[in-house]
A and B are shown apart, each in its own frame.
Chain A
Amino acid sequence: KNQVEQSPQSLIILEGKNCTLQCNYTVSPFSNLRWYKQDTGRGPVSLTIMTFSENTKSNGRYTATLDADTKQSSLHITASQLSDSASYICVVSPQGSYIPTFGRGTSLIVHP
């Protein structure tokens, strides 16, 4: 069964600090992995997308890594801002299927 597990479930950090969110998956055969940011009361917005051959992708202060061998991904946020407070969702899609598997998300709170 395809599964995506995210950790931690929630995280509280101080403004300006860095943090790293984790995603482990069992989706096979693998096609791509995406990280989404979901602000409260809004739909998810894509941050990064990586295919099998990519092991890192950056989008501003967000950097995602992918280890397809261990089936792990991380999202690193640098110099956090209050606006980074949101849920971060890892989504993995299998080859040949249009139905992705979503993680439950990590809830990040950035305090001033």
Chain B
Amino acid sequence: GAGVSQSPSNKVTEKGKDVELRCDPISGHTALYWYRQSLGQGLEFLIYFQGNSAPDKSGLPSDRFSAERTGGSVSTLTIQRTQQEDSAVYLCASSPSGGAPVGQYFGPGTRLLVL
């Protein structure tokens, strides 16, 4: 595809349910980032994948959050036992390489609403 894609575009769930958010990065990009954007807040770093290296999970807010990246391409962000404060836009970005993230390309985001 031409850009980063994310699915679903919108997700409404009930408190306590698990959700999975998907990101398809640009083909060939080795670096992949997940961010969370809450209303009126700046983007919050969640997790970073670079090639086959162990991911940097330092931004995950709790152990209810986890992410995987299979085959160095598609990534899934999972939120278990969702809470209302998890409601936000979850953005994925990919980059041609790690290090200083020049040229991050963002997907359209998944808007998550926890009722």
Contacts and interface: CB of A to CB of B under 8 A. Distances in A.
Instruction: Please say whether chains A and B are actual partners in one complex.
Output: yes
Interface of A: 4, 31-32, 36, 41-46, 49, 89, 93, 95, 97-105
B112 interface: no
Contacts of B107: 43
A32 B91 CA distance: 21
- Contact residues of B: prevailing secondary structure: loop
B99 interface: yes
B50 interface: yes
Given A41-B108, A43-B109, A95 B102 contact: no
B71 to A, nearest CB: 21
Given A43-B106, A98-B50, A4 B42 contact: yes
A4 B107 CA distance: 23
Contacts of A101: 42
Contacts of A97: 100
B48 A99 contact: yes
Contacts, number: 57
B42 A99 contact: no
Contact of A98 (B42, B101, B103): B101
Interface of B: 4, 31, 35, 40-45, 48, 50, 56, 58-59, 91, 93, 98-109
B31 to A, nearest CB: 7
A101 B99 CA distance: 14
Given A49-B102, A98-B100, A103-B42, A42 B50 contact: no
B47 to A, nearest CB: 10
A32 B104 CA distance: 13
B43 A32 contact: no
A77 to B, nearest CB: 20
A93 to B, nearest CB: 6
Given A95-B100, A98-B99, A99-B56, A42 B45 contact: no
Given A99-B56, A104-B40, A46 B48 contact: no
Given A41-B108, A43-B107, A99-B56, A93 B101 contact: yes
